[in-house]
Chain A
Amino acid sequence: MRKRKKDGKGYMDVTKRAKVGTGKLHKYKRGELNKGGIINKYDRVKFNQQSAKYQMASKQAARAEALLQEEAGFIEADEGESTCEVTQYDIANAVDITSAQKFFELKLDKFGPYRVDYSRNGRFMLMGGAKGHVAAFDWQTKNLMCEINVMETVKDVKWLHQETMFAAAQKQWLYIYDNQGVELHCIDVMNNILKMEFLPYHFLLATSSSYGRLTYLDVSIGKRVSCINTNHGRLDVMCQNPSNAIIHLGHSGGTVTLWSPNSQKPLVKMLCHGVGTRAIAVDNSGNFMATAGIDRTLKIWDLRTYKALHSYKVSAGPGSLAFSQRGLLAAGMGNIVEVYRDITKSQITAPYMMHSLSSPVANVQYCPYEDVLGVGHAEGFSSLLIPGSGEPNFDALEANPYQSKKQRQQAEVNMLLEKIQPEMITLDSRDVGKVDVKTLQEQIAEREKIIYLKPEKIEFTPRKRMKGKSKTGNLLRRVEIVKGRQLREEVQSISKQKEKLAKMLQAENTDGAAEVKEEKPFNVFDRFKRKEQA
């Protein structure tokens, strides 16, 4: 197809596609393909075809960015001004009326402090007051779904996979309610729970208890999948890594431990602070972790290397931390909520935004797909506007804020079909697609096995033979012969293996050094050989 150029001279090729920038392309790449070691021509062709396909897929995904409808929010400060001076009232006055309505306060001073949780599509909010007040509502339209008082202490509340059910950790047991506030289940195998995390792709509710127990409940089948005694005492600092479903627990000794339901021991144990850990948060990509200690330090960690990237002294020890979808970190300390931008990228000097409340902050939580930060505090709940925090373009097949009832039901079926088994929770979620290569540790163990190889004990009972041949003496002689032969064979094979290993080790040790020439014994015919040139 040809189309005339704007200036009328010549044609432009409209079938030709616009180039995709490497930066954009990089975002959609799933690792690099390594061509090394393919000798077979057939395999090489196959490999090239495959890599061309991968490349095309990432290109097309990058191209599809042009179709995204929304742009992220922002604050641009004038010269000499700072964004952290902007108050919520300034923002609410500057933006349109629907956005301005997203900044609101709920004064509930009787039952606080409150814990809050947003549903996965960001449409619904759940709050649980420590003195028993539990409420669920559509926070944008302010439509109340239910409001109950459970007449017990409420430690934590969490939506399950959809806005139809939620879990509440009460004084003794865990309860599941539907969105009308009807108690569906009382789970008495999980008691004295302090914090909860829901892993939506695995349908697992992870809970940590005051007795140091980390328990996983599969909410799709209603079974306790795993119960781990962490031996770390009271567990009241907990968060999940959204990219690999690993649970992070913070402890009073300043350590942070990483858990999966498949291991009774922590996968990783990090010493993050010299004093107790107060709060943890992991960002959406799963690469960065923020931890706060009671000594007012806030640290950013790289979870790929487990090394600290930045360390800050803040005004008060943050009691709660949360990463937004676009990487803004919110920290609630005392009466103040601070929000940091680009904290994982570089050392920052000032917060992005600040807001002070009337009472101590209990819980901060970003609303997905909205520029909103929900803050639960002792005297109620505040919904704050944080421009640039939420992902502007949602994927309707993952989470859809505008879904109808039918769509929600359909999504639930799909989620259940795609439920990932808890066995697949590992530090790297791509493990299941990788080739199972022996680790260095396994290789070493295998070698050591050879070094300490010993001939096994030979057991041989001779067969009864014809009359006269099975005299005791004959039998013993036969046993001796067979045993001797087997032993010789075994010793030979062992010594061979050991020789091989020794050669291998030697080759490794010399590694690139000139080969040592083997001295051969002189043969009588060697005199006729041609002399080697120097």
Chain B
Amino acid sequence: MKIKVLSRNPDDYIRETKKDIHRVPRNYDPNLHPFETPREYTRAVNAVKLEKVFSKPFIGDLDGHKDVVECMCKHPTQLSHILSGAGDGEVKLWDLPRRKCVRSINAHDGFVRGICFNPSGEYFFTCGSDKVIKQWSMDGPGAGEEEEPMNTILSKNVFHSIDHHWQNNTFATCSDTVDVWDETRAEPVRSYQWGVDSIYTIKYNPIETHLLAGTADDRSIIMYDTRGSVPLRRVRMKLKSNAIAWNPMEAYMFTVASEDYNLYSFDARYLDKPTTIHQSHVAAVMDVDYSPTGKEFVSGSYDKTLRIFAVGSQFSREVYHTRRMQIVQCVRWSHDDRYLLSGSDEMNLRLWKARAAEKIGRMKPREKEAMRYNDKLKEKFAQHPQVKRIAKYRHVPKRIMAARKEHTTIRSSQKRKYVYVFWGIYRKQSRLIIGAPYVCYLARYSEICVDRLERSSLDVQIGALF
């Protein structure tokens, strides 16, 4: 007869010295791990609560400007540098890791309207309301020397914005006309005009690099191909657009920040209606910038908040605000996809995390593992009411709460009215199609923002570009 009884040698299970780590034998037999799902659920709830605890998105502010921060520009090759221009004509170069201003230039009389780097980041251009474009070297002046521009171009018009081509040495400015300049020449290579109104912002497409998009004072968004002599097409909105940003990953997608509190994402090939209307702001949207991944974008608004939207989602996933931050004039998403920058009316630049609960700095492997596990759990149980509620909740100031409530009422009443009108028409025609009014409402709503689409004689097919 053979008999064996369980007999463990404690030395196999207890650490040898106090400096060792504890031994943790594992056995993955499901019978030893009961309540797998409820425990995972509890962990998911804890994880989403902890995310809330750790979400402190504000990193710091950069103060030093003496007037409203008007514009910002990221350095194309260095993460640590950013330029900002203010209402008093001052341009500042900031070192972000040290949170210090490393260079100040009194560039213009009056507002600095736009800044842009050349693709290599060796020099940059500024334009102002004093009708001057200036080119500055990134190498500052020597000790005791004064700041001198490398080049100065005088013009007859007040400039509103400037943007550099992503590859070659041309740049575009906008004033009453859109001008394309060669860096080496004092006169524009090309000028475009459509109507009499001035153009507010202008942006080069990062992929289809000849394509330019601008927003004009007459509520329109205009497309230009810099190889052609006339603009391609324009779409007129119900209200003015304040800023425009191209999706860096999908060449044909762009988003405009509109005066009507919304942002509109368009497919450049089909401009007759936007693909998505982003609706969370409660005042005019001032600026918009895409993340380098092309999956999200940030917007700054007159309602003194920043919001982050996922591409294709109607509502924002995140809202940032502080008590001291006033109207946000410009926003930028850093090239490493981790930080946001905002410039606002009270003369400060602010640095934010793109993901509010993300830990900055190095993490131990175990910590990383735990984070990843928690993220997966949150994803798995995202639709559970308790998890969803906690994940969705954002504390916003009272005024925004109130405004949001008001807008919700307005929107629902508009919708109701529209449905009633449609219902009435259908009743007269005695054709009842269930659900039709709502579908029609949605179709109509996406058209609400677009007034008219016009094409120029040269607009063959913008789609052919892509």
Measured between beta carbons, the chain B residues less than 8 angstroms from A432 are 37-38, 41, 384
How many chain B residues sit at the interface, stated as a range, is 35 or more
Q: Is the CB of B5 within 8 A of A395?
A: no
Q: A396-B23, A420-B42, A429-B34 are in contact. Are A387 and B4 (CB under 8 A)?
A: yes
Q: Which of B7, B25, B29, B37 contacts A429 (CB 8 A)?
A: B37
Q: A398-B32, A418-B42 are in contact. Are A74 and B25 (CB under 8 A)?
A: no
Measured between beta carbons, the chain A residues less than 8 angstroms from B238 are none
Measured between beta carbons, the chain A residues less than 8 angstroms from B38 are 201, 420, 424, 429, 432
Q: Is the CB of A201 within 8 A of B34?
A: yes
Q: Which of B13, B28, B34 contacts A28 (CB 8 A)?
A: B28
Q: Which of B5, B22, B39, B380 contacts A407 (CB 8 A)?
A: B22
User: How near does chain A come to B58, taking the closest CB pair, in angstroms?
Assistant: 28
> Is B27 engaged at the interface, CB distance under 8 Å to the other chain?
yes
> Is B36 engaged at the interface, CB distance under 8 Å to the other chain?
yes
Q: A201-B39, A402-B10, A429-B38 are in contact. Are A27 and B30 (CB under 8 A)?
A: yes
Binds B, one of A3-11, A62-70, A215-223, A268-276: A62-70
Measured between beta carbons, the chain A residues less than 8 angstroms from B3 are 73-76, 86, 90-91, 94-95, 387
> Is A450 engaged at the interface, CB distance under 8 Å to the other chain?
no
Q: Is the CB of B28 within 8 A of A390?
A: no
Q: Is the CB of A395 within 8 A of B22?
A: no
Q: Is the CB of A91 within 8 A of B33?
A: no
Q: Is the CB of A392 within 8 A of B12?
A: no
> Is A81 engaged at the interface, CB distance under 8 Å to the other chain?
yes
Docked complex Cα distance between A392 and B1 (Å): 21
Q: Which of A392-446 contact B (CB under 8 A)?
A: 392-398, 400-402, 404, 407, 417-421, 424, 429-433
Docked complex Cα distance between A71 and B22 (Å): 22
> Is A359 engaged at the interface, CB distance under 8 Å to the other chain?
no
> Is B2 engaged at the interface, CB distance under 8 Å to the other chain?
yes
Docked complex Cα distance between A325 and B33 (Å): 12
Measured between beta carbons, the chain B residues less than 8 angstroms from A284 are 31
Measured between beta carbons, the chain B residues less than 8 angstroms from A325 are 31
> Is A459 engaged at the interface, CB distance under 8 Å to the other chain?
no
Q: Is the CB of A371 within 8 A of B25?
A: no
Closest residue of chain B to A140 (Cβ to Cβ) is B10
Docked complex Cα distance between A74 and B3 (Å): 6
Q: Is the CB of A396 within 8 A of B24?
A: yes
Q: Is the CB of B34 within 8 A of A64?
A: no
> Is A486 engaged at the interface, CB distance under 8 Å to the other chain?
no
Measured between beta carbons, the chain A residues less than 8 angstroms from B28 are 28, 61, 64-65, 395
Tally of contacts, chain A with chain B, CB under 8 A = 143
> Is A391 engaged at the interface, CB distance under 8 Å to the other chain?
yes
Docked complex Cα distance between A96 and B4 (Å): 9
Q: A68-B27, A418-B43, A424-B41 are in contact. Are A391 and B32 (CB under 8 A)?
A: yes
Measured between beta carbons, the chain A residues less than 8 angstroms from B46 are 417-418
Q: Which of A75, A285, A396, A431 contacts B31 (CB 8 A)?
A: A285
Max chain B CB contacts within 10 Å: which of A70, A401, A430? A70
> Is B35 engaged at the interface, CB distance under 8 Å to the other chain?
yes
Measured between beta carbons, the chain B residues less than 8 angstroms from A70 are 6, 8
User: How near does chain A come to B193, taking the closest CB pair, in angstroms?
Assistant: 45
Measured between beta carbons, the chain A residues less than 8 angstroms from B29 are 27, 391, 393, 395
Max chain B CB contacts within 10 Å: which of A72, A78, A396, A401? A396
> Is B26 engaged at the interface, CB distance under 8 Å to the other chain?
yes
Q: Which of B1, B34, B40 contacts A76 (CB 8 A)?
A: B1
Measured between beta carbons, the chain A residues less than 8 angstroms from B31 are 243, 284-285, 325
> Is B390 engaged at the interface, CB distance under 8 Å to the other chain?
no
> Is B154 engaged at the interface, CB distance under 8 Å to the other chain?
no
Q: Is the CB of B42 within 8 A of A75?
A: no
User: How near does chain B come to A268, taking the closest CB pair, in angstroms?
Assistant: 19
> Is A99 engaged at the interface, CB distance under 8 Å to the other chain?
yes
Docked complex Cα distance between A98 and B384 (Å): 51
Q: Is the CB of B35 within 8 A of A393?
A: no
> Is B14 engaged at the interface, CB distance under 8 Å to the other chain?
yes
Measured between beta carbons, the chain B residues less than 8 angstroms from A396 are 22-26
Docked complex Cα distance between A159 and B56 (Å): 42
Closest residue of chain A to B22 (Cβ to Cβ) is A407
Q: A394-B25, A396-B25, A421-B42 are in contact. Are A95 and B35 (CB under 8 A)?
A: no
Q: A68-B27, A243-B35, A419-B42 are in contact. List 4 more A-B contacts (CB 8 A).
A: A96-B7, A394-B27, A407-B22, A421-B42
**Which B residues lie at the A interface, using CB under 8 A?**
1-8, 10, 12-14, 22-43, 46, 380, 384
Q: List 29 A-B contacts (CB under 8 A).
A: A28-B28, A69-B25, A73-B3, A74-B2, A74-B4, A75-B1, A75-B3, A76-B1, A76-B3, A86-B1, A86-B3, A90-B1, A90-B3, A95-B3, A95-B4, A243-B31, A243-B34, A244-B35, A370-B6, A395-B29, A395-B32, A396-B24, A396-B25, A407-B22, A420-B39, A429-B36, A430-B36, A432-B41, A433-B41
**In the complex, the 6 A-B pairs of residues with the closest C-beta atoms, listed nearest first:** A433-B37, A61-B28, A76-B2, A402-B13, A396-B24, A99-B5
